Chains A and B, each alone.
Chain A
Amino acid sequence: DVKVTQSSRYLVKRTGEKVFLECVQDMDHENMFWYRQDPGLGLRLIYFSYDVKMKEKGDIPEGYSVSREKKERFSLILESASTNQTSMYLCASSLPQGIAKNIQYFGAGTRLSVL
């Protein structure tokens, strides 16, 4: 069974703080993704990575950065948290090719509140 683990379920941070969201997967997947999910907007892709030390911008990368130093770990960084970054953050992973690349396995999510 694929397991994607996000380090925190709930986080409360203050405006201007640097925030790290960690994600670890145990299935040796090459692809990893960070999304945010907001009511009425669905999941929006922030960043993704196809391999170690590789990253690509998604649809809404502004205000975020990522790090992938090891294959199993993909970190999302909010350099200076702002109130409009209050959201549910979901990490996902998948295999790189074929039909399997479309099956993304998600972590349980981190609900971040920025005050």
Chain B
Amino acid sequence: RKEVEQDPGPFNVPEGATVAFNCTYSNSASQSFFWYRQDCRKEPKLLMSVYSSGNEDGRFTAQLNRASQYISLLIRDSKLSDSATYLCVVSQYGNKLVFGAGTILRVKS
């Protein structure tokens, strides 16, 4: 079983739609949680951190459910520029990050 599991998609949505991705992790000792974004043929970049209380950054909302060991990302009012692969990332001991395989989002006009 993978340590971090994501639906690979692709999620094909029209501009302006709301879309949500989920991710589950297997290690209950995981400490910190993040979403990274990877554009086609580019490197991953940090999108946002995920907290138990939930956090919002503009059109993006991230939530963490420790009891169920899942993380979510909600994107409202999708833009064409949101098209990318979204990587769910979990940190465990030390400085290591464990990356999910990613969920592909395609926003179409």
Contact = CB atoms under 8 A, between A and B. Distances in A.
B84 interface: no
Contacts of B102: 42
Interface string B88-100: 0001000111011
A94 B42 contact: no
Bin the interface of chain B by size: 10 to 19
Contacts of B32: 99, 102
B interface, by DSSP: helix, strand, loop or mixed? strand
Interface stretch (A61-69, A75-83, A103-111): A103-111
A42 B87 contact: yes
B95 A41 contact: no
Given A42-B100, A43-B99, A106 B8 contact: no
Contacts of A42: 4, 87, 99-102
A41 B45 contact: no
B42 A102 contact: no
Contact of A48 (B49, B95, B101): B95
Chain A interface secondary structure, helix, strand, loop or mixed? mixed
25 contacts: A31-B95, A35-B99, A40-B8, A41-B101, A42-B87, A42-B99, A42-B101, A43-B44, A43-B87, A43-B99, A44-B99, A45-B96, A45-B97, A58-B96, A90-B43, A90-B44, A96-B95, A99-B32, A101-B91, A101-B95, A102-B95, A103-B46, A104-B46, A106-B44, A108-B43
